[in-house]
């Protein structure tokens, strides 16, 4: 089902996806792209923004080149929400790929260059907060499990633990209250 011209870019683990319907909400788009491409290999990240100039576009980051190449060959021209996908290799490596290959410390390496060959720059690095959110939840879960075992656990920073609890406990309490109310209503 090849829908577009052959790619002139070198192979990359990140696929550039365009011709996406811009009315799709970002969380829905990310979930659907993940579900669509996961059959071709492990996906590290799906980056979709609704920023001006980036609507209708996304990046799917695969763990290895074989997965991204298989997905490019199979899904280019595939009808997605009524529009044919246009796929190509991304011009540069994604931050998720750099973290996967070199570790998270590589993002702060001042000698590491980001961007395309033509537009190479050294500068501030930003990346999706999804990975940081996951790490925060994993740290919190580990602290809670250690606390249940009776172990003394120190947080990474003094403010971090109190900030997390201040942010998350009210939401958890609200969810519990809503869940209890729905259980009471459903039992009647």
pLDDT band at 123 (very low <50, low <70, confident <90, very high): very low
Angle, nearest 10°, between helix axes 129-148 and 158-187?
A: 80
Angle, nearest 10°, between helix axes 26-37 and 65-75?
A: 100
Structure tokens at 159: 């403010």
Taking the domains of the chain in order of start, what are their residue ranges? 14-108, 129-187
**Which pLDDT belongs to residue 185?**
59
pLDDT in tens, 31-62: 999 999 999 999 988 988 877 778 889 999 99
Q: What is the mean pLDDT of the chain?
A: 74
pLDDT band at 153 (very low <50, low <70, confident <90, very high): low
The more confidently predicted of residues 180 and 100 is 100
pLDDT band at 128 (very low <50, low <70, confident <90, very high): low
For 43, the 3-state DSSP assignment is strand
CATH class of 14-108: alpha beta
pLDDT in tens, 68-108: 999 999 999 999 999 999 999 988 777 777 777 777 777 77
Across the chain, the runs of DSSP E, i.e. the strands, are 14-18, 43-48, 57-62, 79-80, 83-84, 86-89
The more confidently predicted of residues 132 and 117 is 132
**Which pLDDT belongs to residue 80?**
93
Flag whether pLDDT at 163 surpasses 60. Answer: no
**Which pLDDT belongs to residue 56?**
87
Question: Which residues, other chains included, contact 26 with Cβ-Cβ below 8 Å and sequence gap of 6+?
Answer: 48, 49, 50
- Determine the Cα–Cα distance for residues 151 and 81; give it in Å rounded to an integer: 51
Flag whether pLDDT at 22 surpasses 60. Answer: yes
Flag whether pLDDT at 165 surpasses 90. Answer: no
């Amino acid at each position: 089902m090849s829908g577009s011209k052959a790619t002139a870019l070198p192979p990359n683990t990140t696929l550039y996806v365009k011709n996406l319907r811009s009315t799709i909400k970002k969380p829905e788009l990310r979930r659907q792209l993940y579900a669509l491409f996961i059959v071709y290999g492990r996906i590290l990240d799906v980056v979709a923004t609704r920023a001006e100039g980036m609507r209708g576009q996304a990046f799917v980051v695969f763990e290895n080149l074989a997965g991204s190449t298989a997905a490019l060959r199979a899904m280019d021209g595939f009808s997605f929400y009524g529009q044919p996908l246009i796929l190509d290799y991304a011009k540069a490596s994604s931050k998720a790929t750099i973290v996967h290959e070199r570790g998270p410390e590589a993002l702060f390496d001042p000698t590491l260059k980001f961007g395309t060959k033509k537009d190479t720059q050294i500068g501030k690095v930003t990346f999706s907060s999804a990975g940081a959110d996951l790490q925060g939840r994993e740290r919190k879960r580990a602290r809670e499990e250690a606390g249940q075992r009776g172990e003394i656990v120190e947080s990474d920073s003094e403010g971090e633990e109190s900030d997390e609890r201040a942010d998350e406990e009210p939401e958890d309490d609200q969810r519990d209250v809503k869940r209890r109310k729905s259980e009471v209503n459903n039992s009647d």
